[in-house]
């Protein structure tokens, strides 16, 4: 299958899943009814459609795509197949930002939480970039990310111990991860940002391909390492930060999705990997959300991170065994 056909196939899978997610739920709704009142959603049908199901589908797609793209960029930049926003501690950094806002009782609203999450993620990423120069070998980087997560986790735990009851509860639920919390305009905004980020980095496909030949070789080919680095930091930090703020620290999507793409496709050039990864991320996120929605009712099923870990953990082990990074 060519890359184009595969993109189409995944696209169709996204559309089918999206339609099913919109149609299925504990409350059956009339689509026509819901859509006809889109400008003034007041009936039950349109409230369920526009305030619950559509934002949830869009959020899942944006989060899946954004994290998958971040994972791909980090794996390429660090020449490390096991890099990803959660592995390197970027999600943990964002969590700390969110924890500071929620647990200390600051009521800064959505923008405050998001800014803190983006700031925390970006700071973590800058820290990793600063020290990664001294690391040789891929294991060191991952262990550093792990240690960073532990330290940040410890700070969060201290904050939790000191927090008020209702703030704590809010934070714990947020930590389980969900696609079901964002209002429609936020989910639409997230999707738009992922599209812009994808377009921006797609234009640097050649630089990213050259980067796989080694950072020194890439620079000898005229790649501006600083520009590429800031593109990767900017995109990864902003996407992972916003997604973490809205959906919680979502596990595995960033790390596992690029490998899933490498598993089903022979393509390794970023011109193909970027669109494939973005689409695959949306597809997997929608798939995982069945595990969250199906066992219970809207917003009350299994925690997203439990579902993703049950899916993602074995998959990463499988990837390691199959060595798709090299093959």
Partner 1 sequence: MERMSLNATPFSIEMEELVIGYRNAPPLNSPFSGRFEGAGIHLVAGRNGSGKSTLIRTLAGLQPPVSGSILWGEDDLSQIASNERGEGMAFMASTPPRTSGLRVEEVLELMQPSLEFRDRTLQQVGAQEWLDRRLSSLSDGQAQRVMLARALLQNTPWIALDEPTAFLDAPSRTAMWKTLLQLSESGVGLILASHDFRFLEGKTALSSVHAIASSGWLSLDRLGQASDWESCF
Candidate ranges 2-10, 33-41, 215-223, 287-295; the one touching partner 1 (CB under 8 A): 215-223
For partner 1 (CB under 8 A), the number of binding residues is 23
Q: Name the CA dihedral angle for 8, 9, 14, 17, rounded to a multiple of 10 degrees.
A: 150
At its nearest, how many Å lie between partner 1 and the CB of residue 24?
38
At its nearest, how many Å lie between partner 1 and the CB of residue 223?
7
* Choice between 202 and 290, CB closer to partner 1: 202
Candidate ranges 90-98, 157-165, 222-230, 293-301; the one touching partner 1 (CB under 8 A): 222-230
* Choice between 170 and 219, CB closer to partner 1: 219
At its nearest, how many Å lie between partner 1 and the CB of residue 276?
13
Calculate the CA 256 to chain-centre distance: 11
Q: If binding is defined by CB under 8 A, does position 143 make contact with partner 1?
A: no
Q: If binding is defined by CB under 8 A, does position 204 make contact with partner 1?
A: no
- Among residues 262, 285, 304, 312, which is the contact residue for partner 1, using CB under 8 A? 262
Q: If binding is defined by CB under 8 A, does position 221 make contact with partner 1?
A: yes
At its nearest, how many Å lie between partner 1 and the CB of residue 216?
5
Binding mask 224-243 for partner 1 (x = CB under 8 A): xx------------------
C-alpha 11/C-alpha 283 separation (Å) is: 8
Q: If binding is defined by CB under 8 A, does position 223 make contact with partner 1?
A: yes
Q: If binding is defined by CB under 8 A, does position 217 make contact with partner 1?
A: yes
Q: If binding is defined by CB under 8 A, does position 132 make contact with partner 1?
A: no
At its nearest, how many Å lie between partner 1 and the CB of residue 227?
8
Q: If binding is defined by CB under 8 A, does position 131 make contact with partner 1?
A: no
Q: Which residues bind partner 1 (CB under 8 A)?
A: 79, 81, 206, 209-210, 212-214, 216-217, 219-225, 262, 268-269, 325-327
């Amino acid at each position: 299958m060519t890359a184009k056909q595969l993109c189409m196939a995944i696209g169709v899978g996204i559309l089918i899943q999206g339609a099913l997610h919109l149609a299925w739920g504990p409350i059956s709704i009339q689509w026509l009814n819901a859509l006809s009142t889109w400008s003034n959603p007041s009936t039950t049908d349109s409230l369920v459609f526009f305030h619950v199901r559509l934002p949830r589908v869009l959020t899942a797609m944006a989060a899946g795509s954004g994290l998958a793209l971040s994972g791909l960029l980090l794996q390429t930049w660090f020449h490390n197949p096991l890099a990803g926003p959660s592995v390197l501690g970027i999600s943990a950094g964002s969590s700390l930002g969110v924890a500071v806002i929620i647990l200390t009782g600051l009521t800064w609203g959505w923008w405050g939480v998001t800014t803190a999450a983006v700031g925390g993620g970006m700071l973590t990423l800058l820290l990793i970039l600063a020290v990664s120069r001294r690391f040789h070998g891929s294991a060191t980087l991952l262990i550093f990310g792990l240690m960073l997560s532990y330290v940040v986790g410890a700070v969060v735990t201290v904050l939790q111990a000191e927090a008020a009851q209702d703030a704590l509860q809010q934070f714990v639920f947020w930590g389980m991860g969900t696609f079901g919390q964002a209002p429609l305009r936020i989910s639409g905004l997230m999707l738009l940002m992922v599209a812009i980020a994808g377009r921006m980095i797609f234009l640097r496909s050649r630089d990213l391909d050259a980067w796989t030949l080694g950072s020194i070789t890439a620079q000898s080919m005229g790649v501006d390492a600083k520009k590429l680095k800031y593109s990767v930091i900017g995109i990864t930090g902003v996407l992972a930060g916003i997604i973490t703020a809205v959906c919680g620290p979502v596990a595995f999507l960033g790390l596992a999705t690029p490998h899933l793409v490498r598993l089903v496709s022979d393509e390794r050039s970023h011109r193909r990997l970027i669109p494939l990864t973005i689409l695959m991320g949306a597809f997997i996120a929608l798939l995982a959300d069945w595990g969250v929605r199906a066992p219970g009712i809207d917003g009350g099923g299994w925690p997203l991170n439990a579902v993703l870990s049950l899916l993602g953990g074995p998959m990463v082990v499988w990837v390691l065994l199959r060595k798709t990074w090299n093959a």
